[in-house]
């Protein structure tokens, strides 16, 4: 059964567009082979990422990602078994600016993007609404 893992982390330094593009290039190539999909968000030096796919592959990839020196304070927010992936259309979707879903932060009572204090449901809603906004913009 597929799993969904959501984590957040702190970038080791401010990430440029080029830095993010490098991560996404590797992610999309690897994830495609592993049958993993998901969404990555980066803002205010925080990453928030969801990975969905076969349990063994998601677990192994997460351990690799957690070792990556480009970020630290890697914190799992949610880990669950799912019937169907929610992010199946995305080998690794990306959103730099949560402006499209800024209202959610307000609803969550947050003044800025602080994934460390998001509940599992809040993090999932945030990423899912971002992916929907991306689809609409595409
Ligand atoms: P390479 O990309 O060649 O990397 C080899 C090693 O070098 C790895 O240990 C890597 O951590 C390190 N490395 C690579 N580039 C840099 C750099 N610019 N600065 C410092 N160290 C570097 N990978 C995926 O496959 N799927 C994902 O969904 C995914 N999401 C990520 C999300 C974040 C927030 C970050 C920071 C990284 C993510 N990665 C992802 C990259 C992942 O951490 C590994 O780099 C990647 O899985 C290893 O790919 P590779 O075997 O092709 O080796």
Each of the 138 residues of the chain gets a pLDDT tens digit; together they read 899 999 999 999 999 999 999 999 999 999 999 999 999 999 889 999 999 999 999 999 999 999 999 999 999 999 999 999 999 887 888 877 666 677 888 888 888 888 999 999 999 999 998 888 765 544
pLDDT for 111 equals: 85
**Ligand 1 mutation target, pool 44, 68, 96, most atoms within 8 A of CB:** 68
User: Closest Cα to atom 26, ligand 1: which residue?
Assistant: 27
pLDDT for 97 equals: 65
Nearest to 50 by CA among 58, 40, 42: 40
CA 27 to centroid of ligand 1, rounded, Å: 7
CA 65 to centroid of ligand 1, rounded, Å: 6
CA–CA separation, 105 and 128 (whole Å): 14
**Ligand 1 mutation target, pool 25, 62, 70, most atoms within 8 A of CB:** 70
Nearest to 37 by CA among 131, 109, 116: 131
Whether the full predicted model's pTM is greater than 0.85, yes or no, is: yes
pLDDT for 138 equals: 45
């Amino acid at each position: 059964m597929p799993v969904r893992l959501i984590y957040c982390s702190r970038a080791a330094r401010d990430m440029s567009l080029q830095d993010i593009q490098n991560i996404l290039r590797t992610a999309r190539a690897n994830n495609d082979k592993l049958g993993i999909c998901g969404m990555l968000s980066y803002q205010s030096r925080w990453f928030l990422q969801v990975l969905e796919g076969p349990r063994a592959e998601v677990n192994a990839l997460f351990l690799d990602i957690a070792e990556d020196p480009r970020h630290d304070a890697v914190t799992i927010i949610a880990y669950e078994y799912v019937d169907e992936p929610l992010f199946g259309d995305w080998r690794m979707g990306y959103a730099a600016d949560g402006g499209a879903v800024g209202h959610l932060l307000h609803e969550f009572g947050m003044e800025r993007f602080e994934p460390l204090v998001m509940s599992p449901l809040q993090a999932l809603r945030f990423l899912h609404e971002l992916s929907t906004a991306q689809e609409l913009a595409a």
